[in-house]
């Protein structure tokens, strides 16, 4: 099992995970649009953004997330790591892979010198909340979203 930046060839597998709610989506069935290509290239070229994939011994993408490293004036100038779009493949849930994914991304942020890891989770996702609580996160904030 390894956590590393997604390659361009893995973009369909990442999009399949993002589309995967209850059951596995076949990467071969996913349409990669020019907007996807552009966004992926933008993220790859940005030293403060990365899409990470958790890959098993058979080279299967079993999880993914996006991290943004945010510079700031507080905390001695250290970055904070913002995590979005955490996914584990539907047929691989319940076996501790989510915990593995989160532990590795936290270690990665720590190695980079980040002072904080932060994320938001929809208020309806009470299972996810218990999971983040168990990883040591403080549920200290409310998260506000405004669609434009």
Judged by the rule CB under 8 A, the positions of this chain that interact with its own copies are 14-15, 18, 33, 35-36, 38-40, 42-43, 46, 48-49, 51, 66, 68, 70-74, 76-77, 82, 84-85, 106, 109-110, 114-123, 129, 132, 135-148
CA distance 46 to 134: 31
Q: What is the nearest approach in angstroms of its own copies to the Cβ of residue 25?
A: 14
How far is residue 105 CA from its own chain's centroid?
A: 8
Q: In this complex, which beta carbon is closest to its own copies, that of residue 96 or of residue 143?
A: 143
Contact, 99 vs 135, CB < 8 A? yes
Q: What is the nearest approach in angstroms of its own copies to the Cβ of residue 27?
A: 14
For residues 4-14, one letter each, b for 16 or more C-beta atoms within 10 angstroms of the residue's C-beta and e for the rest, the string is eebeeebbbbb
Q: In this complex, which beta carbon is closest to its own copies, that of residue 47 or of residue 58?
A: 47
Q: In this complex, which beta carbon is closest to its own copies, that of residue 57 or of residue 133?
A: 133
Q: What is the nearest approach in angstroms of its own copies to the Cβ of residue 111?
A: 10
Q: In this complex, which beta carbon is closest to its own copies, that of residue 47 or of residue 57?
A: 47
| Token pair belonging to 43 | 């993220």
Alpha-carbon torsion (108, 112, 117, 121), positive or negative? negative
Look up tokens 């080279």; give the residue: 59
Q: What is the nearest approach in angstroms of its own copies to the Cβ of residue 62?
A: 18
């Amino acid at each position: 099992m390894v956590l590393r930046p997604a390659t361009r060839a893995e973009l369909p597998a990442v999009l399949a995970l993002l589309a995967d709610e209850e059951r596995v989506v076949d990467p071969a069935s996913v349409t990669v649009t020019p907007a996807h290509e552009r966004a992926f290239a933008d993220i790859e070229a940005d030293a403060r953004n990365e899409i990470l994939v958790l890959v098993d011994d058979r080279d299967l993408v079993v999880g993914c997330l996006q991290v943004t490293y945010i510079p700031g004036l507080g905390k001695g100038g250290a970055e904070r790591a913002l995590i979005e779009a955490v996914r584990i493949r539907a047929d691989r849930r319940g076996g501790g892979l989510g915990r593995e994914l989160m532990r590795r991304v936290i270690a990665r942020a720590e190695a980079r010198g980040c002072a904080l890891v932060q994320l938001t989770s929809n208020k309806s996702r009470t299972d996810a909340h218990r999971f983040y609580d168990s990883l040591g996160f403080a549920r200290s904030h409310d998260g506000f979203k405004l669609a434009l």
